[in-house]
Chains A and B, each alone.
Chain A
Amino acid sequence: MKALRIDRNVGKFGAARIVSAVSPGGAAKLGPLEHRTINDPAPPSGGGWQQVHTRLAGICGSDLALLDGHASAYFENWVSFPFVPGHEVVGELESGERVILEPVLGHAARGLTLPFEGASPADGDDHTHLATTSVNGIEPGIQTGFCCSTGGGWAPWFWAHESQLHRINGTASEFPDERAVLVEPFAGGIHAALMAAPVANRADDPVVAVIGAGTMGLAAIAGLRRYVPNVRIVAGARYEHQRRLAAAFGADCVAEGSDLDRAVRREVGCHLIGDPDEPILSSGAHVTVDAVGSAASIADAIRITRPGGRIVLLGMPANVTIDLTGLWHREIEMRGAYTYGTEKLADGTTTSTFKLAIDTVTALEAEMLVSATYSLDDHVDAIAHAASAGRRGATKTCFEMRGS
C-alpha cells in the first residue's frame, strides 16, 4: 500500500531541522517523511489483532516536532524505524464497526500481564515493554504511529490490538468521525487537567492557568471545566479564534498569550515584580498547565505559578534551555502529562481517560475543531497547514481516507 513513512535518516532529520527554522512545516518536503509504497505490515502473532482501515488521522504537535527534527533523542530507543506515523485515529474494522484508537502499545497488546486488573494500555510504572521487542514480535514503540510492526494512522490501514480499540456507538451522523478523531488528544488534555485536582482541591479559590489554546490547551480547559469544576481557569491564547474557543470551552478569563501574566495577577490579586515586559508574579496560579512545551512557555509557567504550586507539562518540550532558579526558589512541582490511562476521580471512582474524553467531545460537539482535511497525496500541504494552524485560524488538521 501507499503510506507516509519515516525512515531513520540522520541527514534528512538534520535537513528538516534547518528548513523548519525558516518555514513552518516546510520539513515535509525535505525531511524524513515520504509518501511511498510500503510492504504491508505482517499481522502480529497472538490473538486480538484487528486490521483497522483509517477514516481520519490527526496531525499532532508531537508529529510535527518529529518531522521538523526537533523531537528529543530521548525517544531514540522508544521507537522502531521505519514507521508510519499517525496515532490520532478513527478507523473502521473489517466488520464495518467504527473504532477510536487508544494508541499506546501496552501490556495487553504485547502479550504481557496487565499491571493491575482493568489497566488501560498506558498504565504501569515500568516501560520495559515499550522499549523492547515483545514476545509476540512487536518491536519497540511507545504507541501505534511510532512502531514498525503495526503500521500507523497515516496509511490506508494498520494493525491494532483489541485492547487499543474503542467502538463507537452510533452512526456517523450521530457521532461524526471528526469528533472521534479528537478523542485521543482530548484524553491527553483531560489527563493533564486531572493532575491539577490534588493541588487545586487544597486551595480556597483555586486558579489554574493554561498556556496555549491549540487542541491540547483547549482539551485541558474542557477537562478542567468538567472534572475539576471548582477552579477558576485563566487561559492565554495567541490567536483570536483560540481565545474564542477557550472561552467557549470553559475558561473564565482569556488573555492574549503575552498578557497571561497580568491576567493571572488580576485573578489572584498579587504583585508583578521586576521587568515590566517579563515580570515575575509574587504569587500566581495554583496550577499552570503548559500546553505548548517550549522553553518560553515553561519559563512563563514558572513565572506565573505560585510558590508551592504545580506545573503540568502537557506540551512535549524536547530539548530546551530554561533558568530553573524560579522553580527552585518557589518550590514549584513540575509534572509531565504524557498520555492518559486510568484516572481516579474526586468521588473516589476510577475510569479510563478515554471514557472521559468521549463524554467530553460529545458534550462539546468538538468536531468544530477539525479545520481542514487532506489526502495523503497532499501531505506537504497538510503538514504546512498543521504547522501554522494558529496563524491560519485553524485548530486540527487531519488526513482524510474515507472512500479511498
Chain B
Amino acid sequence: MPRPGFVLDVDRSTPPTLFWRGEGFSLERLPADRSRIIYPPEPLKGLDHLDHHIRNALLNPIDMEPLPALLKPGMRLTIAFDDVSLSLPKMRRPDNRQRIVEAVLDMAAEAGVDDVHIIAALGLHRRMHEYEMRHVLGDRVVDAFMPRGQLYNHDAEDHENLTVVGETDHGEVLEINKRAAESDLIVYANVNQVAMDGGWKSLVTGLASYRCLSHHHNPESLRNTKSLMDRHHSALHHSIWRMGKVLRDSGPAVFQVETTINTEAFPSPFEFLAKREWEWTAKDRALFLGTSKALNKMPNTTKRKLFHNIEAPYRTTSVQAGYTESVHEITLQNVHEQHLVEVEGQTDILTMGIPFISPYNPESIMNPILVMCMGLGYLFNMYRGKPLVRAGGVVIMTHPTYEDFHPVHHPSYIDFFDEVLADTTDPAEMSTKWEKKYAEDDWYRHLYRTSYAYHGVHPFYAWYWGAHGQQHAGRVIIVGGHAPAVRRLGFTPASTMSDALEIASDVVGRNPTISHLHVPGVLVADVK
C-alpha cells in the first residue's frame, strides 16, 4: 500500500533536503523548528492489463454510447492526441496514447471507417518530430498514416484550415482545426499528469488558433487563476469550459479518453530522487554522490542529453472514456488521489528546486523564461485552497538560470529575453506593448509552421503562466542562478540557500516559517 503524502517538520536531526538545480541537484539544510517539507504521496499502484482497461473504457464509456456505436462507414473520424509536453519525462514505450489510438483504429477498421486523420494537439507548441510521433504513437500507426498525410501536427497559423465553431456568452471565439471541427466524431487521446490538463482544455487549446487561445492565455486570466491545478478557481479553465460548451453545442461529437499516471518518473539509477532523505540507504547516498559529482563534471549539453533520454516507468492508474466533462471529473479524482497532500496554513517562504524540464522544453534547454514559468507558473500553483506561501512572502528557487536558449525551439524566447524583459517584467504591460508584435512576426510564424519552433507569442504565455505567483510573492530569489539573467527576470540572485534566507529576511523578518515543496515527484498541497 503506497504511503500518502507527508508534511515533515524540520528539526535538528532532519537530514539535508534534496533540491533540483536544473540538470543537477543539491542537498540543502533548512532551518530547524520553523521549516516543513511537503513530500508527495508514493506512486499509486498501476493497472495490470492496460490494453484491456482501455478497450473496456471505449466499450463502456461515461454518458455516451460505446465507441463502436458511434463509428459508421463513410464518416469523418479525427483522433487528436496530447503532444510532447506530456508526459514529463517521456513515458516508456508503449505510450498510453499509442494504446488508445491503436484500440480506436481497430474499432474504426471493424466499423469500416476509412476517413481517419490523426492530429497532434500541440496548440502553439513546437511541432513534433517524426521520431517523437513514433515514440508516442508507435511505428504501426506512424507508418500507416503519416505517409498518406493523415497523421500530422496541428497548425494554428494555417488559417485556411481553421474554422470558427462559435462564440461563448463572454464573446470568446472558438476557432479550431477545420478538419476536427468538420468531423463527425473527434476522439481525444490524453495522458493526464496534473490536474491542470485534460477535460475541455485538451481540445480547445490543443487544436486552437492564437485568436482563440488569447481569450484565456492572458495576464488577466492567469492572475485570476488560483490555481492552475484547481479548475473551479481558475479563470483560465472557466473560459476554456465556456468554449467547451460551444464545442458541445455547435461542434462535432467528442469522445474523450483520459488516462492518469502515477509518479514513477525515474528509472533505477535515479530512484533516490523519489525517496525521503532520511530513508536513503547507503546505496542511495552513494548514487546521489556519484551522480552529483559526475553531473558536475559534464558539460550542459551532455547533462541535458542524459536527462532528456530518460524514459519514465510510469504506471497507469485509471482509464476513462466518454463525455468530456464526466470523464474529466473522474480523472481529477484519480489525479488528486495521487497528488493531494493536506497542509495546514501558509508560511512566509516557499522553497522549490527547479528541474531540468518543463512542459515547454522536451529535448531542449530550460531557458531563464522557462525557469520563471516552472517556478512561479507550475510549482507555485501546485496548491488547492491557498498558496503555500502567504501573500507578500518570498519564493526561493534553486536553478543555474544560465542564459542559454535553444535556437531552433525557442527563437522568440531569445528576443523576448533581450527585448521585452529588458523593458518590463509586468505581464499586463508586456501584453499591451509587445505581444502583438511577437504573435504576428512573420519569421516566428514561418519557424513555427515549418521548423520546430514554439509560436512567436509562446514566451509571453510562459511568462503569463507565472503571473499569479509573481503578483502574490513579495520577492523571488534564485539560488545559484547566473546573476544577470536572474536580475533580468526581475528576481534576486543568491549564491547559497543561507544567503537567500538572509536576503529574504528583508521581506519576511528574521525568523520566517518555510515550506519546501519536495520535487520530484508531483504533489498538490491542499492548503487549509
Query: In residues 236-279 of chain A, which contact B (Cβ within 8 Å)?
Result: 253, 255-256, 259, 262-263, 265-266, 269-272, 276-277
Task: Give chain A residues whose Cβ lies under 8 Å from the Cβ of B442.
Answer: 269-271
User: Which listed residue, A255, A270, A277, touches B418 by the CB 8 Å rule?
Assistant: A255
Q: Is the CB of B443 within 8 A of A272?
A: yes
Q: Are A265 and B443 also in contact (CB < 8 A) when A255-B418, A259-B418 are?
A: yes
Distance, CA A276 to CA B407, complexed state (A): 6
Distance, CA A276 to CA B451, complexed state (A): 13
Distance, CA A92 to CA B441, complexed state (A): 57
The distance from the CB of B453 to the nearest CB of chain A, in whole angstroms, is 11
Query: In residues 413-436 of chain B, which contact A (Cβ within 8 Å)?
Result: 414-415, 418-419
Q: Is B232 positioned at the interface, with any CB of A under 8 Å from its CB? A: no
Q: 5 tightest CB-CB pairs across the interface, nearest first?
A: A276-B407, A271-B443, A266-B415, A259-B418, A262-B415
Q: Is the CB of A270 within 8 A of B443?
A: yes
Q: Is B408 positioned at the interface, with any CB of A under 8 Å from its CB? A: yes
Task: Give chain B residues whose Cβ lies under 8 Å from the Cβ of A276.
Answer: 407-408, 411
Task: Give A contacts to B, CB under 8 Å.
Answer: 253, 255-256, 259, 262-263, 265-266, 269-272, 276-277, 282
Q: Is the CB of A277 within 8 A of B407?
A: yes
Q: Is the CB of A262 within 8 A of B414?
A: yes
The distance from the CB of B83 to the nearest CB of chain A, in whole angstroms, is 23
Mask of B435-452 contacts with A, CB within 8 angstroms, 1/0 = 000000111001000000
Distance, CA A271 to CA B415, complexed state (A): 13
Name the residue of chain B whose CB is nearest to the CB of A282: B443
Task: Give chain A residues whose Cβ lies under 8 Å from the Cβ of B446.
Answer: 271
Task: Give chain A residues whose Cβ lies under 8 Å from the Cβ of B415.
Answer: 262, 266
Task: Give chain B residues whose Cβ lies under 8 Å from the Cβ of A282.
Answer: 443
Distance, CA A270 to CA B446, complexed state (A): 11
Q: Is the CB of A269 within 8 A of B441?
A: yes
The distance from the CB of A403 to the nearest CB of chain B, in whole angstroms, is 42
Task: Give chain A residues whose Cβ lies under 8 Å from the Cβ of B443.
Answer: 265, 269-272, 282
Name the residue of chain A whose CB is nearest to the CB of B417: A259
Mask of B441-474 contacts with A, CB within 8 angstroms, 1/0 = 1110010000000000000000000000000000
Task: Give chain B residues whose Cβ lies under 8 Å from the Cβ of A256.
Answer: 418
A-B contact pairs, 27 of them (CB 8 A): A253-B419, A255-B418, A256-B418, A259-B418, A262-B414, A262-B415, A262-B418, A263-B418, A263-B419, A265-B443, A266-B415, A266-B419, A269-B441, A269-B442, A269-B443, A270-B442, A270-B443, A271-B442, A271-B443, A271-B446, A272-B411, A272-B443, A276-B407, A276-B408, A276-B411, A277-B407, A282-B443
Distance, CA A255 to CA B408, complexed state (A): 21
Distance, CA A297 to CA B223, complexed state (A): 45
Task: Give chain B residues whose Cβ lies under 8 Å from the Cβ of A271.
Answer: 442-443, 446
- Interface bracket on B: 10 to 19
Distance, CA A265 to CA B418, complexed state (A): 13
The distance from the CB of B456 to the nearest CB of chain A, in whole angstroms, is 11
The distance from the CB of B449 to the nearest CB of chain A, in whole angstroms, is 12
The distance from the CB of A287 to the nearest CB of chain B, in whole angstroms, is 21
Task: Give chain A residues whose Cβ lies under 8 Å from the Cβ of B411.
Answer: 272, 276
The distance from the CB of B418 to the nearest CB of chain A, in whole angstroms, is 6
Task: Give chain B residues whose Cβ lies under 8 Å from the Cβ of A272.
Answer: 411, 443
The distance from the CB of B454 to the nearest CB of chain A, in whole angstroms, is 15
Distance, CA A269 to CA B407, complexed state (A): 18
The distance from the CB of B480 to the nearest CB of chain A, in whole angstroms, is 22
The distance from the CB of A273 to the nearest CB of chain B, in whole angstroms, is 9
The distance from the CB of B123 to the nearest CB of chain A, in whole angstroms, is 23
Distance, CA A269 to CA B438, complexed state (A): 10
The distance from the CB of B448 to the nearest CB of chain A, in whole angstroms, is 13
Task: Give chain A residues whose Cβ lies under 8 Å from the Cβ of B419.
Answer: 253, 263, 266
The distance from the CB of B38 to the nearest CB of chain A, in whole angstroms, is 41
Distance, CA A311 to CA B408, complexed state (A): 29
Distance, CA A317 to CA B408, complexed state (A): 34
Query: In residues 383-427 of chain B, which contact A (Cβ within 8 Å)?
Result: 407-408, 411, 414-415, 418-419
Distance, CA A269 to CA B415, complexed state (A): 12
Name the residue of chain B whose CB is nearest to the CB of A240: B484
Task: Give chain A residues whose Cβ lies under 8 Å from the Cβ of B418.
Answer: 255-256, 259, 262-263
Name the residue of chain A whose CB is nearest to the CB of B446: A271
Given contacts A253-B419, A256-B418, A263-B419, 18 further A-B contacts (CB under 8 A): A255-B418, A262-B414, A262-B415, A262-B418, A263-B418, A266-B415, A269-B441, A269-B443, A270-B442, A270-B443, A271-B442, A271-B443, A271-B446, A272-B411, A272-B443, A276-B407, A276-B408, A277-B407
The distance from the CB of A256 to the nearest CB of chain B, in whole angstroms, is 8
Mask of B209-232 contacts with A, CB within 8 angstroms, 1/0 = 000000000000000000000000
Distance, CA A270 to CA B414, complexed state (A): 16
Task: Give chain B residues whose Cβ lies under 8 Å from the Cβ of A265.
Answer: 443
Name the residue of chain A whose CB is nearest to the CB of B484: A240
Task: Give chain A residues whose Cβ lies under 8 Å from the Cβ of B407.
Answer: 276-277
Distance, CA A263 to CA B419, complexed state (A): 8
Distance, CA A238 to CA B200, complexed state (A): 49
The distance from the CB of A236 to the nearest CB of chain B, in whole angstroms, is 12
Distance, CA A266 to CA B411, complexed state (A): 11
Centre residue among A256, A262, A266, A276 by max chain B CB count within 10 A: A266
Distance, CA A379 to CA B461, complexed state (A): 56
Name the residue of chain A whose CB is nearest to the CB of B414: A262
Name the residue of chain B whose CB is nearest to the CB of A273: B443
Name the residue of chain B whose CB is nearest to the CB of A254: B422
Name the residue of chain A whose CB is nearest to the CB of B420: A266
The distance from the CB of B407 to the nearest CB of chain A, in whole angstroms, is 3
Distance, CA A323 to CA B446, complexed state (A): 28
Task: Give chain A residues whose Cβ lies under 8 Å from the Cβ of B408.
Answer: 276
Distance, CA A270 to CA B415, complexed state (A): 13
Distance, CA A269 to CA B439, complexed state (A): 12
The distance from the CB of A188 to the nearest CB of chain B, in whole angstroms, is 30
Distance, CA A262 to CA B414, complexed state (A): 9
Task: Give chain B residues whose Cβ lies under 8 Å from the Cβ of A253.
Answer: 419
Task: Give chain B residues whose Cβ lies under 8 Å from the Cβ of A269.
Answer: 441-443
Distance, CA A49 to CA B419, complexed state (A): 54
Name the residue of chain B whose CB is nearest to the CB of A253: B419
Task: Give chain B residues whose Cβ lies under 8 Å from the Cβ of A262.
Answer: 414-415, 418
Distance, CA A352 to CA B411, complexed state (A): 45
Centre residue among B407, B408, B441, B443 by max chain A CB count within 10 A: B443
The distance from the CB of B450 to the nearest CB of chain A, in whole angstroms, is 11
Mask of B178-222 contacts with A, CB within 8 angstroms, 1/0 = 000000000000000000000000000000000000000000000
Distance, CA A134 to CA B113, complexed state (A): 96
